[in-house]
């Protein structure tokens, strides 16, 4: 256990740094005053190693006088041939254990922009292309299971509370496609995470770590708003995909989200915005095209081709089907195939 001191009230806290990965900067919260402050784990480890060491007093070796008539015999040291040992070659790990999944967060603090629709159909498209995909639903509404026609009953809540192992918590919903369901019970988990005084932002990362070697993609569907679980998602994912409905209010929500993301990036530089996906593109109306052109200027590298408005997006969830199953030839299915090609950087997929 290592001591840290709150810079606000000078209260001391004991923390266990053995469970925190090297090179991480975490956010601790003082139990006395509630103040949150950053803590560099590597510095704590260095302090723990040097703590309590004392200089060893030097005692000079006493001189032993030898009578002049007695000459000490100096024996020649035996010549020892160095022992040559063959280095042990470690066997390479199987490829499936070496690779790590790409971790993509589908997020925006504004609701009604198509986060769940994008998460489900992007995941389904990747699965159809042959990739192994896990969709993690962190929304208390648990809509991902409804859209896929699979009410899981258990999921992320039971994983975070330790009631189920990672393999027990996930449910296969399609070929190559698994779901870690959300639901109302996540509200209680959010309160548990928020009460943690040390390393709360790494709770989700620790729970999902055992699953990373089993999938090619892990997609995380977040809830509207900004809470402790959303912070956990951003401390876990490395890529962010933002669906933006081509309306004025979602555009404002994007601006607010980017401010919050920059505050996270101060502590975790690995996470970055990769994709901006315009949704509900209606070519019959002038305003969406104006907003789309503005997005292209703001995010020239991240902007993706828009997902066109299609009534099949509203009807497919009622049948528990993805857009590829319900209306594979519609414009929406065409657009999500294009998004799959963009994310995988493979133009030959799903042609």
* 3-19 tens-digit pLDDT: 777 877 777 777 777 77
Whole-number Å distance between alpha carbons of 230 and 207: 15
Give per-residue pLDDT as tens, 149-163.
988 788 899 999 999
Is residue 54 a part of any domain in this protein?
no
Task: Report the C-alpha dihedral over residues 122, 123, 128, 129, rounded to 10 degrees.
Answer: 70
153 and 8 fall within a common domain: no
User: Under a CB-based contact definition with an 8 Å cutoff, are residues 203 and 193 in contact?
Assistant: yes
Reported pTM: 0.73
Residues with Cβ within 8 Å of residue 277, at least 6 apart in sequence: 114, 118, 241, 242, 243, 244, 304, 306, 307, 339
41 and 150 fall within a common domain: no
Report whether pLDDT(96) > 70.
no
Task: Between 46 and 265, name the one with better pLDDT.
Answer: 265
Is residue 60 a part of any domain in this protein?
no
For residue 216, the enclosing domain spans 102-344
Is residue 116 a part of any domain in this protein?
yes
State the total domains in the chain: 2
pLDDT at 4: 78
Least confident of 26-40, 115-129, 283-297, 324-338: 26-40
pLDDT at 92: 42
Give per-residue pLDDT as tens, 243-272.
999 988 888 888 889 999 999 999 999 999
pLDDT at 329: 95
Report whether pLDDT(166) > 70.
yes
**3 state SS of 264:** helix
Pairing of strands 171-174, 25-29: unpaired
């Amino acid at each position: 256990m290592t001591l840290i001191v709150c810079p606000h009230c000078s209260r001391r806290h004991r923390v266990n740094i053995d469970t925190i990965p090297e090179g991480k900067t975490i956010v601790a919260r003082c139990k006395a005053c509630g103040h949150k402050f950053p803590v560099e784990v590597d510095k704590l480890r260095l302090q723990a190693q040097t703590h309590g060491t004392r200089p060893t007093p030097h005692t000079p070796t006493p001189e032993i006088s030898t009578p002049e008539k007695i000459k000490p015999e100096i024996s020649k040291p035996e010549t020892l041939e160095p022992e040559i040992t063959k280095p042990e070659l470690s066997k390479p790990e199987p490829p499936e254990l070496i690779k790590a999944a790409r971790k993509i967060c589908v997020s925006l603090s504004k609701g009604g922009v198509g986060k769940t629709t994008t998460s489900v159909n992007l995941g389904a498209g990747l699965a159809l292309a042959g990739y192994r995909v896990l969709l993690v639903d962190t929304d208390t509404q648990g809509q991902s299971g409804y859209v896929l026609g699979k009410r899981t009953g258990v999921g992320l809540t039971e994983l975070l509370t330790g009631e189920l192992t990672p393999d027990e918590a996930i449910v296969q919903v399609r070929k190559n496609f698994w779901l870690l369901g959300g639901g109302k019970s996540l509200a209680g988990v959010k309160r548990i995470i928020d009460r943690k005084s040390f390393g709360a932002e790494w709770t989700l990362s620790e729970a999902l770590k055992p699953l990373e070697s089993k999938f090619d993609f892990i997609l995380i569907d977040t809830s509207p708003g900004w809470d402790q679980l959303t912070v956990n998602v951003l401390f876990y994912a490395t890529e962010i995909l933002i669906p933006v409905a081509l309306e004025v209010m979602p555009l404002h929500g994007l601006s607010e989200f980017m401010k919050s993301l920059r505050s996270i990036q101060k502590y975790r530089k690995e996470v970055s915005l990769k994709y901006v996906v315009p949704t509900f593109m209606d070519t019959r109306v002038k305003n969406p095209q104006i907003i789309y052109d503005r997005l292209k200027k703001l995010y020239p590298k991240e902007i993706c081709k828009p997902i066109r408005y299609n009534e099949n997006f509203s009807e497919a969830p009622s049948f528990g089907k993805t857009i590829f199953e319900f209306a594979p030839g519609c414009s929406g299915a065409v657009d999500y195939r294009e998004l799959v090609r963009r994310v995988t950087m493979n133009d030959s997929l799903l042609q």
